[in-house]
Structures are given as C-alpha cells and as structure tokens.
Structure 1
Amino acid sequence: MADDSSVELTASEGCLVARVSGELDYVSRPVLMDRLRLLIARGSRFIVLDLSNVASCDSAGLNVLLLARLQADKRGARLVVACVPPQLRRMLEMTGADQVLSAYDTVAEAEAALCRIDRPEIRG
C-alpha cells in the first residue's frame, strides 16, 4: 500500500505551518500520525495545519486530526486547521469536530488569530 500523504513544514510569525497533502484515510493514518507527533514534539506553541492539498478524508483521517489536537493540548500547544476543503469542512460540522478543532479560511487568518492569543491587547 502506497503512502499518498505528505507533511511539509514552514515557520512563520511564531507559528509552525504544516501543509498536509494527499489522502487522510485508513491507509495513510499510521504514517501521518507519526509525522504529526514529530511535528508537535518540536515544541512550537502554535501549529497550523494547512489542509488545502488534502484530496479526501475519511473517519480515520478525521481521527488523526483530532488526536493531533489532543496531543498538542497535552504539550501546551495550540493546533488549528486552515484552508479546509469543503467536503472535509462538512465532515467537521456534521460530526461536531468543528467545536473542538478551530478552522480558518486561510493560513494568514489562522496565524493572525494565534498571534492575538500570543499578544493580547493592553488596555489602559
């Protein structure tokens, strides 16, 4: 069985951005979970998963995203998703996963939201 998923990393504005590509499914689950565990172990405080190149996602793929968020939480990191394809966004909404996995339309919006968390406004 071929692994049709990949994770490419870039750092930007205090966030670690991981572009996830390919299939998020039962076949790619073990490799993808290992890659995301390594990503989270890097110790970044903010992680954005760019899902713009995800071709499809089944329940196993959704489980990977939710487990990654849980692992990030345990390490004191914040993990969010961005550029979620329409079919995956519907899956997040139908399952209620959108209540625990914050989704943004763009990576820039996700980074801006995380930067607001990092630098709250000073009120006088």
Structure 2
Amino acid sequence: MWVIPSEYSDAEPDPLRNFAESIVEEMNSKHAEDVHRIYSIYVESDFQATDVKMIWVDRLGFDLHVHSGEGTFAARIPFAREVSDEKGVKSSFNMMSHHAWEVEKSYAAPEFEKVELLKKVR
C-alpha cells in the first residue's frame, strides 16, 4: 500500500528499532529450540522444518525464515498484544514459548489461530 509523503513523515518509528537486531541474535543463539517450537505450534505448514530462524521483530510480532527440503519460506507470528520495549518482547516470547511447550506436551489446547506459512523466499 502506498502512503503519501506527509503520512510517512508523520509516522512514529517502531519502539523496538534500536535493539531489534540484538533480540533476534539472542533468540537465534540462546533460544533456537523455543523459536522452532513456536514455529511448529503457531504456524500451519505441511512439511517438516529443518531449521527456523527469527529474522526480525517489531512491536506487533516477529518474522521467521523456515528452511526445509522444499526451500525457504517466510512466516509472520503476531504477539498477543503490542509491545513497546525489550522487556515486553521477552515477556511475550516467553509466554508464547511456554504455551507452545504445553501444547506440544498435550498439557494445554492451542488458544490461538495458526498463521499460514507465507511465500517461498528462495
């Protein structure tokens, strides 16, 4: 969707912009198992992922690249609520990770609608 120049100049930058890269790096290096678990529970897909990497995070959610024998795909997973700082991101991610673990172990039922896997990246 195109925006007019005044809408662009009046827009407020995402509050996570200054530390999004460090969050992504931390999630992929220290919480890779949780990233993969969240993908497997929150994303509707017909294939087994060999690798899942978080590629970006913003106030509304995060983007993943999902690697499989079929190629690399993108997925966007929203947070349950908008976050405004690093603590909010980590809290939301931990909540999602814990819930995904409970669903995986059949301790809880999914309380969300799965997102669809997006287009093939490469």
Structure with bigger strand share is 1
User: Normalization by structure 1: what TM-score?
Assistant: 0.28
